[in-house]
Structure 1
Amino acid sequence: MRAKDKILGALYGQAIGDAMGMPTELWPLQRIRRKFGRHITKFLDGTEDNDIAVNFKAGEYTDDTNQAFAILDALIETNWKPDSKVLVKHIMKWADEVGAWTNNILGPSSKAALRAIRNGEDPTDITREALTNGCGMRISPIGTLYEPEQLDQLVQMVYDVTKITHSSDVAISGAAMIAGAVTAAMADYDWYDIVDFAIKSNDKGFTLGAPTWAAHNKERLEIGIDLAHRYAGDDDSFSRAIYNTVGTGTSISESIPAAVAIAYYAKGVEKSAIVCTNLGGDTDTIGAMATAICGAKVGAENIPDSWKKLIDEKSPQHNIHDLADKIVAFKA
């Protein structure tokens, strides 16, 4: 059963994890500690010494969620039948509006693929070698469209919306891992089964992508789950172990397994968002993915009203409740 509260939980979770992780984006752990101290527990403005976050204010989400919602807008326009040209149109429109080409907002794989498309070139050579995490940061809403028994349709939709910028095996599998985790969380699976379904989704997605030499998401996730058990109840030790072992960089096979492992460890929106922003590395992207999974599991009613209100106030370009209504109406 795809309940609206669970859909809202996933959408707000995506936005909250993104917005809270924004000020520390792509900083090493030591720099975060020097600038912000031990623990960030609230939304903060981007600071002048972070050239990616500098233009963002507390509670504003970044390219991760803007692209996620642009994809939803594109699918709604085409009655949920993915059309690459329409998907690109919506992402390009957002990129042009925010100056993403010059303001260090777009990720490297997406920027290269979209630039090729803009120049009338075939982006395939770029997309099939894309190993950065733009494929996963914007995919969580796709998981809200399906129920677990619709695995084949879920993974096909992931492929159709991801291939415009990322079509490598590790990209499709990583995006499917995140979307699958959201689908299972929406169905209120227990956390062991959420991970299992995410792995099944990953494995099916892997067969659709172009072969690469990249480390596999599945094996990295298994390490992350082991770390979650080893350091249960010790947020600092768990976070440090993920940072040092699984990795928290922009590569797919670091950030996506890290996000699922953090969701499994945190099990709630507030804890997930706080762990991710203090993590080091690609904090907003990992936060968006992990916290979307947690939001899908616990539902919007278990997210602080003040957090949801701040997201709505700071990013009025999207009406999250309206998007949720349209997702509820979707029939696979």
Structure 2
Amino acid sequence: MRSKDKVLGALYGQAIGDAMGMPTELWPIQKIRSKFGNNITEFLDGTADNDIAINFKAGEYTDDTNQAFAILDALIETNWNPNTKVLVRHIMKWADEVGAWTNNILGPSSKVALKLVKEGKDPHEVTKTALTNGCGMRISPIGTLFEPNQLDMLVKMVYEVTKITHSSDVAISGASMIAGAVTAAMADQNWDEIISYACKANDEGFKLGAPTWAAHNKNRLMIGINLAKKYKNQDDQFSQAIYETVGTGTMVSESIPSALAIAYYARDVKKCAILCTNLGGDTDTIGAMATAICGAKNGANSIPSNWITLINKRNPQHNIDKFADEILNFKA
């Protein structure tokens, strides 16, 4: 059974991982260590030398969570029946409001696809080759809508909301993997079962996307899971192995397997968010995905209350509690 505590856990997990990972976004590990030292453990302002994070203050989440919640707003407007025009309208409204076109806030695939839509052009030639992780960064709330026995409906919903900017096999499968992990975590499956269900969702999603040459998410995830087992209780060694072996860049086949492996290793919202911001690479996006899974598993009651208070205070544009109520009213 889906519960409000677990829905809130997923939503706040998404927001927390995103906001905590923001200051180090797209920096190599050497630069993070030089700037912030060995271990960031709290929310920080973006700094002037990070041309993406410069736009944000401590506790503010980025395009990952803003797009996730824009998608929720769009689905609520259409009574949970995905409508491409409405989905695009809500994301474009957010993008226009924050100056995403000029402030280096949108990811590369989303920016090109939405720009074509804005110009009245068909973005399919771009979306079918999209290999970057905008597909996964905003998808975790979709996982809160379904039970594990509704895999087909889950993957269909993932496809409908993802194809507006990403319609490649690796993108649809990766987004399905993240949403599937959230669904299984919401159902309180154990961590090995969560990974198994995420892989099933990945396989179903892969069938729906346009063929690409990208590495398969599931295969790379298995590498990450093996690293999590090898370096159990060795945070620094595990993080370094993920960074150097699976990869933490913006490609779907790096960041999504890494996010799932980190969630599997951390198993806790606070630990997961801290690991991700100190990781190097696409820290906010990996944080959003990984920490959402941990939040879905453990619920909002497992999250430090001051973290939730800060997220609410710094992001007044959204009412996360109201989103949770709307999600619980959804019937597949």
**Residue identity in the other structure for 2:225:** I
State whether structure 2 residue 53 is matched by structure 1 residue 53. Answer: yes
TM-score when normalising by structure 2: 1.00
Aligned to 2:31: 31
Q: Deviations over 1:281-325 (max 9, x none)?
A: 000000000000000000000100000000000000000000000
Aligned to 1:269: 269
Aligned to 1:40: 40
For 1:284 and 1:243, the matched residues in 2 are separated by: 14
1:248-259 equivalence runs, <5 A: 248-259=248-259
Aligned to 1:292: 292
**Residue identity in the other structure for 1:180:** G
For 1:168 and 1:55, the matched residues in 2 are separated by: 30
Q: Deviations over 1:104-159 (max 9, x none)?
A: 00000000000001111110000000000000000000000000000000000000
For 2:50 and 2:119, the matched residues in 1 are separated by: 30
Spell out structure 1 runs of 4+ moving beyond 4 A.
none
For 1:56 and 1:235, the matched residues in 2 are separated by: 28
Aligned to 2:279: 279
For 2:107 and 2:22, the matched residues in 1 are separated by: 14
Q: CA deviation at 1:219?
A: 0.3
Q: CA deviation at 1:55?
A: 1.7
**Residue identity in the other structure for 1:18:** D
For 1:216 and 1:309, the matched residues in 2 are separated by: 38
For 1:82 and 1:53, the matched residues in 2 are separated by: 31
For 2:142 and 2:135, the matched residues in 1 are separated by: 12
For 1:170 and 1:83, the matched residues in 2 are separated by: 22
1:68-83 equivalence runs, <5 A: 68-83=68-83
Aligned to 1:245: 245
Aligned to 2:62: 62
TM-score when normalising by structure 1: 1.00
Aligned to 1:122: 122
State whether structure 2 residue 168 is matched by structure 1 residue 168. Answer: yes
**Residue identity in the other structure for 1:250:** T
**Residue identity in the other structure for 2:33:** R
Alignment gaps of 5+ in structure 1 = none
1:8-27 equivalence runs, <5 A: 8-27=8-27
Alignment gaps of 5+ in structure 2 = none
Alignment: residue pair count: 332
What's the % identity of the aligned pairs?
76
For 2:2 and 2:113, the matched residues in 1 are separated by: 33
**Residue identity in the other structure for 2:88:** V
**Residue identity in the other structure for 2:253:** S
